[in-house]
């Protein structure tokens, strides 16, 4: 258990330098910390705001050790950071939050669901698949529709196929079982949810927890499109979501912030879909809308500082800005001046060098005391933004 406070100007080492690392670094720098990131891409988003970047592959233990030796505390910003790298650093005596045992569970969809079941948290029905004959067996036994996913490495809908009809079976087999590098698969029954929601929660080394307001998440093509906070759900569903998220983070004994993604059924039952052992896209609204942002809270947790209040100052809607088919590699975002004329709009761009379809390039957050107005304004602002050559 870590009791020691790590105070500014100590050095925080972040494995991964994407937008989540960038927003963590923003908060850490504001608080007076020094930040070093390790990422294979030179001048990655986090490198643009932190003190130093170690350009290296995530598998490079030698470079990971260099990061650890230069830092007082370590964290990571994406769930697919190699378990081997994090556990190696722990074996060498360095503190990494959340601990590698959290990664071990969350990096494997089967282990994750087994863990959730073992602590009494509901999930969708699932079955580990070894190969396509397994799939045929279960499809006839367990029925359709279903989601077939790789157990490891998937994110934003990558590595998964929606299987609706038995006729699509051979197509699915071809797509899933011919994938290079994928070794195992999971069959999940399709949840006809009425909403997707998430809870961002935080835990310190003493076991105290805090939760951010439940958010409502709308996905397009399995990628988060919009987050609305607070979620438009019943008091009963909200209570279940908080209870489940707290149970999950306590059982994981994670130190830091994690995101718990959930499905809400027509009957108001809450099932956990996935655990993200890191700050989460659906918590970006907290930068403007809460007294303490999820990034601030994560820095507080890993440095042994007190929980900040997660109280909301205003309702919020967040929309992701993705690369799309209209964009070229070197496109720039246009329409900003019009979008920013709308009341309550804040723009975040992540400084990624090339625009690609589906790539998360930035987001906008809109605050309003009227939640529906925040949603409408966010939609209008998004419509005004486009990629230009």
Positions in the binding site for ligand AMP (CB under 6 A): 124, 147, 154, 157, 188, 190-191, 196, 219, 222, 261, 273-274
Nearby residues of 74 by Cβ (< 8 Å), 6 or more positions away: 12, 13, 14, 15, 67, 68, 89, 94, 95, 96, 97
Considering beta carbons, is residue 18 or 344 the nearer one to ligand AMP? Answer: 18
Q: Give the position of tokens 């290079």.
A: 180
CA 75/CA 96 separation, integer angstroms: 5
- Angle of CA points 253, 195, 150, to nearest 5°: 60
Q: Which is nearer to ligand AMP, 16 or 154 (CB)?
A: 154
CB of 214 to ligand AMP, least distance (A): 15
Which CB atom, from 89 or from 252, has the smaller least distance to ligand AMP? 252
CB of 335 to ligand AMP, least distance (A): 28
Minimum CB distance to ligand AMP, residue 190 (Å): 4
Q: Is 123 or 292 the residue whose CB approaches ligand AMP more closely? A: 123
Residue with smaller CB distance to ligand AMP, 67 or 191: 191
Nearer to ligand AMP, 48 or 222 (CB): 222
Kindly state the smallest distance separating residue 35's Cβ from ligand AMP, in Å.
28
**Exposure b/e, 83-115, CB count within 10 A at least 16 = b:** bebbbbbeeeebbbbbbbebbebbbbbbebbeb
CB distance 282 to 217 below 8 Å: yes
- CA 259 remoteness from chain centre: 6
How near is the Cβ of 155 to ligand AMP at its closest, in Å?
Answer: 6
Which are the contacts of 220, defined by CB distance < 8 A and separation ≥ 6? Answer: none
State the nearest-atom distance from the C-beta of 110 to ligand AMP, in Å: 13
Q: How far apart are CA 227 and CA 21, in angstroms?
A: 20
Nearer to ligand AMP, 87 or 124 (CB): 124
Minimum gap (Å) between residue 146 Cβ and ligand AMP: 8
* Residue 190 CB partners (closer than 8 Å, separation 6+): 124, 144, 145, 146, 147, 162
Specify which residues 316 forms β-bridges with. 229, 367
Give the nearer residue to ligand AMP in terms of CB position, either 146 or 339.
Answer: 146
**CA gap 180, 194 in Å, rounded:** 34
The nearest distance, CB 196 to ligand AMP, in angstroms, is 5
> Quick one: which H or E segment has residue 296?
helix 294-302
């Amino acid at each position: 258990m870590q009791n020691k406070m790590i105070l500014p100007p100590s050095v925080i080492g972040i494995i991964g330098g994407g937008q989540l690392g960038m927003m963590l670094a923003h908060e850490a720098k504001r608080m007076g910390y020094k930040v070093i990131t390790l990422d294979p891409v030179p001048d990655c988003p986090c490198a643009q705001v932190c003190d130093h970047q170690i350009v290296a592959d995530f598998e490079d233990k030698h470079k990971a050790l260099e990061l650890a030796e230069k830092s007082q505390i370590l964290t990571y910003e994406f769930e697919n950071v190699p378990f081997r790298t994090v556990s190696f650093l722990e074996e060498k005596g360095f503190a990494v939050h959340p601990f590698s045992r959290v990664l071990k569970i969350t990096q494997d969809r089967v282990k994750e669901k087994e863990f959730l079941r073992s602590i009494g948290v509901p999930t969708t029905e699932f079955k580990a698949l070894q190969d396509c004959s397994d799939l045929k067996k279960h499809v006839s036994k367990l029925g359709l529709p279903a989601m077939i996913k790789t157990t490891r490495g998937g994110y934003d809908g990558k590595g998964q196929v929606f299987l609706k009809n038995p006729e699509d079976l051979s197509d699915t087999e071809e797509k899933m079982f011919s994938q290079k590098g994928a070794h195992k698969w999971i069959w999940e029954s399709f949840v006809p949810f009425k909403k997707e929601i998430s809870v961002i929660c935080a835990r310190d080394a003493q076991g105290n927890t805090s939760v951010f307001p439940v958010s409502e998440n709308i996905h397009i093509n399995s990628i988060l499109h919009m987050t609305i906070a607070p979620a438009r759900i019943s008091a009963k569903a909200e209570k279940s979501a908080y209870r489940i998220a707290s149970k999950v983070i306590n059982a994981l004994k994670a130190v830091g912030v994690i995101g718990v993604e959930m499905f809400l059924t027509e009957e108001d039952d809450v099932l956990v879909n996935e655990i993200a052992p890191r700050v989460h896209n659906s918590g970006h609204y907290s930068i403007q809308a809460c007294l303490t942002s999820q990034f601030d809270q994560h820095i507080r947790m890993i440095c042994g500082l007190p929980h900040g209040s997660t109280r909301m100052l205003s309702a919020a809607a967040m929309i992701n800005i993705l690369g799309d088919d209209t964009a070229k590699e070197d496109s720039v975002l246009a329409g900003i001046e019009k979008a920013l004329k709308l009341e309550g709009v804040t723009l975040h761009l992540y400084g990624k060098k090339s625009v690609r379809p589906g790539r998360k390039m930035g987001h906008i957050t809109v605050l309003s005391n009227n939640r529906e107005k925040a949603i409408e304004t966010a939609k209008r602002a998004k419509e005004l933004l486009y990629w230009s050559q």
